Structure 1
Amino acid sequence: MLSALAFLWPAKKLSEQSVEKKANQIQSIVETSDNLFDNGHFEECYQILKSSSEKDIEIYWRICRVMYNMSKEVKYDVEYRKLLVMDAYKLISEHLQDNYDRYEVHKWYALLLDAKSAYEGTKERIKQLENVRKHMDLAVTLNPTDATTLHMLGEWCFQVTELPWHQRKIAEVLFASPPYSTYEDALEYFMRAETAQPRFYSLNLLRLGTCYLKLNKEDQAKYYLKLAASYPAKSNDDHRANKEASELLKKIK
């Protein structure tokens, strides 16, 4: 009996070493890709993640994240940007049910569902509004202090508030109770995002300024618009925030 146990011991040790080695490899890939992503090097980040042989949700949701961000780069043609969105949506959908307790999965599923439906037309995007909101709510329930998820909920409220008349009519046809929100709702989420992680995102600063402007609170609007206008530009979103904030500031007396 003792000899049998002695025989099994090395196998167990080897198994533990294998698990530890895999975890270390994943951690190394995650750290390298996150650093590239945070500095706006999306293509390099994408290549590192795609070339990994590790089958792990930490890799998968990061692939979806970088593909989504690449899909917003104007240097790519429309068809390639659409392909990035569709492929990323397919990937995150495949891993949704098995990772229902992961806020990152719900977050990127919500964003990619919205992006995918936008390519499929106004009616489809409006049709998916409630489903997008559902997964954003699940993400923020699982992680109440994630700034980007809070920003996403603010953006959802902002976009619903800004729906043009003809799109509201489509929503009335599709839903018994059409999605509804206000600038106050949007502002609350944008402020919660800013509190969770101050100045983490240029567009959050822009939206804070815009909401305050919509609510006729010019002093607060100026404060956040100035921050957005001077935000260090590393991505297309940052350049957009710089430009839109500067234009809005010119309109304020």
Structure 2
Amino acid sequence: QPSQKLKSVFAVVASYAFLWPLKKPQQLTNEKTVDELQALINYADDLFENGHYEDSYEILSTFHDQENMEIQWRLVRALYNMSKDTKYERNHRKKFVYQAYEIVTKLITCHAQHNVVQKWYALILDTKSSYEGIKERIQQLENLAVTLNPDDATSLHMLGEWCYQITEMPWHQRKIAEVLFASPPRSTYEDALEYFLKAEAAEPRFYSMNLLRIGNCYLKMERDDQAKYYLKLAA
């Protein structure tokens, strides 16, 4: 019997089967209409939402269009999720992140006002910084804070994460930062909490990690009742 995962793939493929008898992939690349492109995007989105990130990436990369933002940010999204999949070795996951970074840095120069581009730029920049040294991480966290859209829940969470990571920086890394920077960045749990709460207000329950961070901040601030409330929500 086919597995449930295979069944879901077959269902998605079947619903978009009309795309392939019409034209070969090479023809679609050169002659795609608005309707065909939207059908492709819908197909890739369905694959992504069913957890088939690599399949979504392959479909989108087949019709890679340097000028099309909708294709590009979805490629970044797929690569980001592939980079979180432990079935790949660490070096492969890192490669996915750097590939996504190359795409999204080009996007941000042309589409800096688009929230979805800002969101994925923020996520990729933060993930990339985790593979690098303390100096690069601080610089990229600062770049992240400057770039983010302050009205978007994900962006607000990332700003909170920036403050949280700076506050949580171990003693030895702080000493390194003091050597590397004339004025190393500083933050507090109160700063981080403010952003996490704003993110929650902008889009309630949008991300369990945001709830967890709120709970953690309250714990650090010794406000146990509030901490318990948010940690239960995050569980």
Q: After superposition, what is the alpha-carbon deviation per residue over 1:116-154, rounded to whole angstroms, capped at 9, x for unaligned?
A: 233232332223332222222xx33xxx1x211111111
2:94 is aligned with 1:76: no
Distance verdict in 2 for CA 1:101–1:78, change over 3 Å: same
Bigger mean CA deviation after superposition, 39-48 or 127-136? 39-48
For 2:33 and 2:222, the matched residues in 1 are separated by: 55
Give the secondary-structure state (helix, strand or coil) at the position aligned to 1:128.
Answer: helix
Kindly indicate whether the alpha-carbon contact (under 8 Å) linking 1:26 and 1:54 is maintained by their aligned counterparts in 2.
no
Deviation at 1:38, TM superposition (A): 4.5
Q: Which of 48, 54, 78 matches 2:59?
A: 48
Matched with 1:108 is 120
Deviation at 1:54, TM superposition (A): 4.5
Give the secondary-structure state (helix, strand or coil) at the position aligned to 1:119.
Answer: coil
For 2:156 and 2:33, the matched residues in 1 are separated by: 32
2:196 is aligned with 1:190: yes
Q: Which of 156, 175, 185 matches 1:150?
A: 156
For 1:190 and 1:34, the matched residues in 2 are separated by: 28
Distance verdict in 2 for CA 1:173–1:107, change over 3 Å: farther
2:131 is aligned with 1:119: yes
TM-score by length of 1: 0.71
One-letter amino acid of the structure 1 residue matched with residue 180 of structure 2: L
Matched with 1:234 is none
Distance verdict in 2 for CA 1:28–1:215, change over 3 Å: farther
Kindly indicate whether the alpha-carbon contact (under 8 Å) linking 2:65 and 2:72 is maintained by their aligned counterparts in 1.
no
One-letter amino acid of the structure 2 residue matched with residue 228 of structure 1: A
**How many matched pairs?**
203
Kindly indicate whether the alpha-carbon contact (under 8 Å) linking 1:107 and 1:135 is maintained by their aligned counterparts in 2.
no
For 2:214 and 2:51, the matched residues in 1 are separated by: 23
Deviation at 1:104, TM superposition (A): 2.6
Give the secondary-structure state (helix, strand or coil) at the position aligned to 2:130.
Answer: helix
2:187 is aligned with 1:176: no
TM-score by length of 2: 0.76
Matched with 1:203 is 209
Bigger-Rg structure (1/2): 1
Q: Which of 226, 229, 233 matches 1:220?
A: 226
For 2:37 and 2:60, the matched residues in 1 are separated by: 10
Consecutive unaligned residues in structure 2, runs of 5 or more? 1-31
Q: Which of 168, 187, 209 matches 1:162?
A: 168
Kindly indicate whether the alpha-carbon contact (under 8 Å) linking 1:127 and 1:171 is maintained by their aligned counterparts in 2.
no
For 1:206 and 1:35, the matched residues in 2 are separated by: 29
Matched with 2:142 is 130
Identity across aligned pairs (percent)?
A: 58
Aligned residue runs from structure 1 range 6-85, under 5 A: 22-55=33-66, 56-85=68-97
Consecutive unaligned residues in structure 1, runs of 5 or more? 1-20, 230-253
For 2:101 and 2:195, the matched residues in 1 are separated by: 25
